[in-house]
């Protein structure tokens, strides 16, 4: 990272003050949010979240969100996804080539992931050394593990084309920073869709980021604080923030964003 943006990050951190969010989570609130509002109003519809944007990210090798280790918060809070037993079905929306899917399948879960970019599916199976077959349905291409001990289906296609009829319903959902990759105008639709795919009494383990973007870099990841998640999923869910981690250093380096927190939420669907 260049020295000047790093110094700017550090200086900006100094002008922030600490407050509590509406869910009672301690956070550092920026002095002004006026710039963010302006950015959201002026952003062209779907500029950054269509399939060509993501294809370029994948073919250009700029998948900087990818983790080569199983997510630390998934490992710690995995029990929340176990609705009764290890056989529960788990949906991983906007999965990228996340190795969390293999980790969950190793535990006995039937895992279904979806990503709009086919290269993600190819790299996932190749890099994880999982044998697979590929087939097409009316709506999607599907890569499916042929290892009997590992139940993983990777759907290539647009999440917004999913329905229970097309892909089934699930006991649990692992949303690992996926909701913040969605165009902010579509997050309500996204939450509604996840709800429609989740069985009654199902659970969502959801990771989101809260940050202040003073740079005007207006592209994913988007800022989505816990109270906004609560607003999206509404009364149907009991929602609790289970963990909050400081991600300022990471966001400073990756995006020149001067302040960031990662939140992990439990969402339990009420009957």
Ligand X SMILES: C[S@@+](CC[C@H](N)C(=O)[O-])C[C@H]1O[C@@H](n2cnc3c(N)ncnc32)[C@H](O)[C@@H]1O
Cα–Cα distance for residue pair 90/179, rounded to 1 Å: 16
Mask 40-79, x = binds ligand X (CB under 6 A)? ---------x----x----------xx-------------
Cα–Cα distance for residue pair 182/191, rounded to 1 Å: 11
Looking at beta carbons only, is 120 or 150 nearer to ligand X?
120
The answer to whether 195 contacts ligand X (rule: CB under 6 A) is: no
- Closest separation between CB of residue 71 and ligand X, Å? 7
As a 3-state breakdown, the chain gives helix, strand, coil percent values, each rounded to 5, of 35, 30, 35
The answer to whether 158 contacts ligand X (rule: CB under 6 A) is: yes
Cα–Cα distance for residue pair 92/70, rounded to 1 Å: 14
Mask 209-248, x = binds ligand X (CB under 6 A)? -----------x----------------------------
Looking at beta carbons only, is 150 or 180 nearer to ligand X?
180
- Closest separation between CB of residue 216 and ligand X, Å? 20
Cα–Cα distance for residue pair 266/205, rounded to 1 Å: 5
Residue 73 neighbours by CB under 8 Å, 6+ apart:
207, 243, 245, 262, 264
Work out the number of other CB atoms within 10 angstroms of the CB of residue 230. Answer: 18
The answer to whether 160 contacts ligand X (rule: CB under 6 A) is: yes
The answer to whether 117 contacts ligand X (rule: CB under 6 A) is: yes
The answer to whether 115 contacts ligand X (rule: CB under 6 A) is: yes
The answer to whether 116 contacts ligand X (rule: CB under 6 A) is: yes
The answer to whether 187 contacts ligand X (rule: CB under 6 A) is: no
Taking the alpha carbons of 224, 175, 136, 117 in that order, is the dihedral positive or negative? positive
Taking the alpha carbons of 47, 49, 55, 59 in that order, is the dihedral positive or negative? positive
Looking at beta carbons only, is 117 or 214 nearer to ligand X?
117
The answer to whether 114 contacts ligand X (rule: CB under 6 A) is: yes
Q: Contact, 152 vs 108, CB < 8 A? A: no
Binding-site member from 98, 248, 256, 261 for ligand X (CB under 6 A)? 98
Span of 29-37, 73-81, 121-129, 155-163 interacting with ligand X by CB under 6 A: 155-163
Residues forming beta bridges with residue 26, ordered by sequence position? 20
Site residues (CB under 6 A) for ligand X? 49, 54, 65-66, 94-96, 98, 114-117, 120, 158-160, 176-178, 181, 220
């Amino acid at each position: 990272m260049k020295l000047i943006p790093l110094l700017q990050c550090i200086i900006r951190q100094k002008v922030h003050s600490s407050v509590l969010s509406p869910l009672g989570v301690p956070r550092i609130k920026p002095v002004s949010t006026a710039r963010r509002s302006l950015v959201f109003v002026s952003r062209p519809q779907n500029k950054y979240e269509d399939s060509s944007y993501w294809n370029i990210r994948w073919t250009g090798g700029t998948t900087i969100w990818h983790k080569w280790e199983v997510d630390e918060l998934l490992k710690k809070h995995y029990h929340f996804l176990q609705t009764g037993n290890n056989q529960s079905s788990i949906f991983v929306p906007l999965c990228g080539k996340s190795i969390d899917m293999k980790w969950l399948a190793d535990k006995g879960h039937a895992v279904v992931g979806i990503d709009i970019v086919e290269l993600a599916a190819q790299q996932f199976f190749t890099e994880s050394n999982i044998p697979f077959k590929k087939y097409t349905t009316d709506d999607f291409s599907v890569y499916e593990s042929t290892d009997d001990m590992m139940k993983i289906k990777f759907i290539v296609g647009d999440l917004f084309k999913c329905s229970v009829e097309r892909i089934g319903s699930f006991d649990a959902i692992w949303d690992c920073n996926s909701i913040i990759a969605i165009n902010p105008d579509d997050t309500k639709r996204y939450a509604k869709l996840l709800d429609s795919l989740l069985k009654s009494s199902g659970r969502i383990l959801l990771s989101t980021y809260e940050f202040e973007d003073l740079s005007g870099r207006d592209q994913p990841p988007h800022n989505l604080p816990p109270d906004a998640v609560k607003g999206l999923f509404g009364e149907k869910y009991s929602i609790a923030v289970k963990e909050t981690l400081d991600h300022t250093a990471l966001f400073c380096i990756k995006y020149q964003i001067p302040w960031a927190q990662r939140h992990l939420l439990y969402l339990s669907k009420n009957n």
